[in-house]
Structure 1
């Protein structure tokens, strides 16, 4: 069977494929392909060899193909590789297509080398179809894994930004400050609620100063969220002190019927800290 011979032929050429690929690689492009570090170059070649060891199994009838667990693990490892994450996506796709062309050239070379056994154009076409379909599936799966990793990093960065937008500063043992600056929308208010309760509980905070002097405006929903935060803090044993309550914010609270009877209120943060003898 010509396919059996092709499988053995390609298997014997996997190392050559990697060396030829790296030799013709455009090393001026951004990302992992431009590295001059010998260790990184060898790692890149190892990753490429691992690809060929798996991709050639497409011509092995006993294998499951691209959806083989080992192949999926390889794709995931490349998507999670930091050097590849720093590489423009179109550059990575370009290398997949160059690899596709390598396999087509290899198939043609094999067909021309068959002296004793006839290889038809139909065979060549069928093998090329296997290569094209295989590369397409690799690209699709890599795209899925790459997006998954990008979304994870984006969410992690967003979470970090959200937490930094509501920083809790330790002033003394069991005493902390939550300075709020800028506009507070519903999303930020929710993050502030969750982050503040968790931090105060973990750090055994029993007194929290919340300064609103840097907040230009608060809508009714956000004002309600701040009130809920104060109630939540009270339930875990945290005494709250508000400062910088602008007239507009106070007016919103009154309109909502929000009571701050259990909250210590000061006009400025400095005044609040002085009352607690925390002026530095």
Structure 2
């Protein structure tokens, strides 16, 4: 049997011990997140994750690099999206990766003491492999964490966008867009994109746009609202405006924007009476 295989078997036999030793050596006074938890359920899950790590990592002495990482990838993605690890500062997660790496060096030293015939060259080769592959695991973990956080941010932004322009479905293919608060250029753009998408998705033929909750509006935003009305017209959606404040009307006049093709009502109650 090749010595790599002997080392593989040795590490596999000691994988449970490695997990217990690792957890016992965590500096719980100078860490945070999952590593500082006193919750028995969290601790059990953490130990299982660490043991699963060992069962994957020791395969570097038993498999080719491509197959090794192909099998390892699900574990990396799982930890990168794990609630407890997400809520742990990443520097502490990286520190524990390094502690586990040093633990492997210690176990190789123990293995060498049990097998005096092992050469220095073999030990150096094992050290190099562990360094190289652990660095790659850490890099892939950071990349997976970044991808997960970006996906979460994207989902949150989509939710914010929808809340910024909540198209409420009414009966008979009608909908309501109540605009509230300050509208800057960025929010106006989101309102335009989200409203068109929601109207098409919900098969809305007539949209009531209420501006009574809009406090301030500048010339650029007034122009964006006018663009929204024109875009809705292009996709076959009729619009009724309500709650236009005097300052908004004045801004529209100054810009030369005409709402003559849109129904206008003083307030939302009047607008909805025509339903």
Instruction: Give the TM bin, normalised by the shorter chain.
Output: 0.7 to 0.9
Aligned counterparts, 1:239-250, within 5 A: 239-250=238-249
Q: 1:137 to 1:176 in 2, by over 3 A?
A: same
Are 2:270 and 1:274 aligned?
A: yes
Aligned counterparts, 1:78-227, within 5 A: 78-115=79-116, 117-120=117-120, 122-169=121-168, 174-213=173-212, 214-220=214-220, 222-227=221-226
Gaps of 5+ in 2: none
Q: SS at 1:177's partner residue?
A: strand
Gaps of 5+ in 1: none
CA distance in 2, matches of 1:17, 1:33: 16
Q: CA RMSD in A?
A: 2.7
1:124 shift after superposition = 2.7
Give TM-score scaled by structure 1 length.
0.83
CA distance in 2, matches of 1:44, 1:65: 27
CA contact (8 A) 1:168 1:196 kept: yes
Equivalent position to 1:46, from 12, 32, 48: 48
Q: SS at 1:212's partner residue?
A: strand
CA contact (8 A) 1:66 1:134 kept: no
CA distance in 1, matches of 2:270, 2:252: 26
CA distance in 1, matches of 2:188, 2:270: 28
CA distance in 1, matches of 2:35, 2:172: 51
Q: SS at 2:216's partner residue?
A: coil
CA distance in 2, matches of 1:126, 1:167: 61
Aligned counterparts, 1:227-242, within 5 A: 227-242=226-241
1:183 shift after superposition = 3.4
1:248 shift after superposition = 4.4
Give TM-score scaled by structure 2 length.
0.84
CA contact (8 A) 1:189 1:225 kept: yes
CA distance in 2, matches of 1:132, 1:185: 51
Q: SS at 2:273's partner residue?
A: coil
CA distance in 2, matches of 1:65, 1:170: 52
1:67 shift after superposition = 5.9
Aligned residues between the structures = 271
Equivalent position to 1:55, from 57, 62, 80: 57
1:149 shift after superposition = 0.6
CA contact (8 A) 1:58 1:65 kept: no
